[in-house]
Structure formats: C-alpha cells, structure tokens
Structure 1
Amino acid sequence: MTSSQRPLYKMETHYYEVNLGWQYDRLGQLSSTSLTDTIDVATPPEFPKGMAGVWSPEHLLVAAVSGCFMTTFLAIAENFQLEFEDFDCKAVGKLEKTDKGLQITEIELLPKLLLRHESDTNKAGKVLLKAEKACLITNSICAKVTMQPTIRVADKDYD
C-alpha cells in the first residue's frame, strides 16, 4: 500500500444522536447529550406558518455542508502544511420543486481563502479541491455541490 492509499487514521463506526423537542406552533428545539448548546429550528418563513429569524432544516442542511467543507479543508491544509491567514465560506442552497417534491438540489460553496505566501496559490487550489471531494456530508447527500473559491494573498507591509 502506498502512502497515498494508506488511511490517515483507523475509522470506526460513529453515531451522532440528536434530540428534537416540539415547543409550539412550528418551532422545535434541537439538542444532543454530547453538546452543551441547543438550537431552535422552525419552518422557514417562505412556507405557511414559517418563522423568521429561526434556523430552518434547509439552513441546517446548507450549514452542514459548509461546516464539513471547512473542517475537511482545515485537516487537509494541515497535512499539506498550507499557511493561511483567514478562511470563510458562504454557502447558498437552492430549494426547488422536482419530480420527487421539494428538494435542495444545489449548494454552492463560496470559500474565501487569504494566504500568507503567494507561492502557495497552486497548493491552496489543490487543497480546496481535495476538501470539496472528501467532504463526508457532501458525499452523503444527493444535492449537487459546487465550489467557486476566491484565493487572495495577504498584503505585506514594507518599510
């Protein structure tokens, strides 16, 4: 087995338990015995009786893809010794009617990466692509996930 085929760590089966308690109307509260915070979740305001200002299942799905992409990027960037100053990622999910009913059919990731060194630009592009392909949440859903990265180099102060 070559080093590129060898797993980085031994992967076992894991389970992630989430509890949902209905509060009132179209509002519920998510919790987990392994987490300290709770999250309110409700029907989005675009639907009848939806609630503005509350996380919806649609937002949470898009956030899961974005969060997984970020954590995957961070792990791969560390393995590639990619030095960067900042990373953020906007994600946009497209909800539409399909022959299966309403679906999030596309999620566009718009990561912005601020590098320390211009010489790392090509490496950064490769790391972002690897992260996009390796994201386990993206690989677990049927929506098409695309990425449009922006890579910049930090300005240097010169005397």
Structure 2
Amino acid sequence: MGETHRYECRTDWTGAGERGTVDYRSYDRAYVSRAAGRPDLRGSSDPAFRGDATRWNPELLLVASLSQCHLLWYLHLCSTGGVTVLDYRDDAVGVMAEDSAGGGRFTGVELRPVVTVASAEMAERARALHAAAHTKCFIAASVNFPVTHSARIEVATR
C-alpha cells in the first residue's frame, strides 16, 4: 500500500441551550467544526430534521466533497493532458432515502459539470477525462453508492 494521509478536525455541538436533549424539540442541531489553520465551518442538520437551513449539513458536505474531488482530479488530468479548461461549474445532486427504522442512506450522487475549453479540438478529450477523473477521486472510491456524471463540454467563443 502507498502513503497514508491523516485528516483531523474537531466538532463541537453548540446547540444545547438551557435544557440540552431533554426531548427532541429542546435543542438546536448547530455545531462548529474546526481544523488547524482553517476557518470554522458552521453546520446543522438538514431542515427536514429540525436543522438550520442557513448552515451546511453533513449531507450537503458529502455531495460537495464528491464534486470538489472530481473537479480537482479533472483539472489535474486536463492540465497534464493538453486540455485548457477556462471555466468549470458543477450543479451536483445527491439523493438520500430514509428507511422505516429512522435511518437512511445515499442512493446516488450525480455530478453535472459544465466545462468550457479553449478550442473545439479539445472537446472530445475533455469529455473523456471525466471518466478518468472519476476513477482517481478518493472520495468517490470510498462511498458505497453510485457516483455518476453527466458532463457538458462547451467551447469558448472569443
């Protein structure tokens, strides 16, 4: 096995209020996650679970992690593969299904990147590199649900 990497963070629950978890409605789902040298990440649960809609929740963070990992691998592969990317955006969507026991699981995430390349000659290679980026993404390789992508390649007009 290759090199290993360690990631550390601390998460503090900030929503105890006056009564803590006396009952399901007595506390806020607010938390702050911290990692050395980075800004605090303020989160909550999904609004469907009494969370704060203005904060990141774990489900959104998972979808964002998959989108970001794909982006970074894709840009690397393009930079070493002769494809000049001028713009990239991804409107990623994750689906989570609750089960009857109160738990749930993600059933899939679809990445939907729209990539602008410098010239038409790069478009087919740009499209193909999404599959390669998918196989390299550490996060996608670590989850037990399908991560798909439906990329759209555009050519810059200058």
Shorter-chain TM range is 0.7 to 0.9
Runs ≥4 residues deviating over 4 A: none
**One-letter identity of the residue aligned with 1:134:** K
Percent identical residues: 28
TM-score of the superposed pair, with normalisation by structure 2 = 0.86
| Structure 1 pair 112–139 and aligned structure 2 pair: CA distance change class (3 A) | same
Moved more, 128-137 or 108-117: 128-137
SS across alignment from 1:51: coil
SS at match of 1:43: coil
- Partner Cα separation in structure 2 for residue 15 and residue 141 of structure 1: 18
The Cα offsets for residues 86-139 of structure 1, whole Å up to 9 and x where unpaired, read as 111111000103588311110000000001110011110111111112111000
Letter of the 1:43 counterpart? S
Deviations 1:25-58 (A, max 9, x none): 210001112x3211111111011x2211110000
SS state at 2:92 partner: strand
Query: Which of 1, 6, 9 lines up with 1:15 in the alignment?
Result: 6
Q: Which runs of 5+ in 2 are unaligned?
A: 16-27
2:144 counterpart residue number: 142
Q: Normalising to structure 1: TM-score of the pair? A: 0.85
Structure 2 distance, partners of 1:40, 1:67, is 19
Q: Looking at secondary structure, tell me which structure has more strand per residue.
A: 1
Show the counterpart of 1:55. 56
Check if 1:128 corresponds to 2:118. Answer: no
Which consecutive residues of structure 1, in runs of 5 or more, have no partner in the other structure?
A: 1-10
Counterparts of 1:39 and 1:116, CA distance in 2: 35
RMSD after superposition:
1.7
Corresponding residue SS for 2:112: strand
Distance 1:114 1:80 in 2: 15
* Count of aligned positions: 145
- The aligned residue for residue 81 of structure 2 is 80
Letter in 1 for 2:125: K
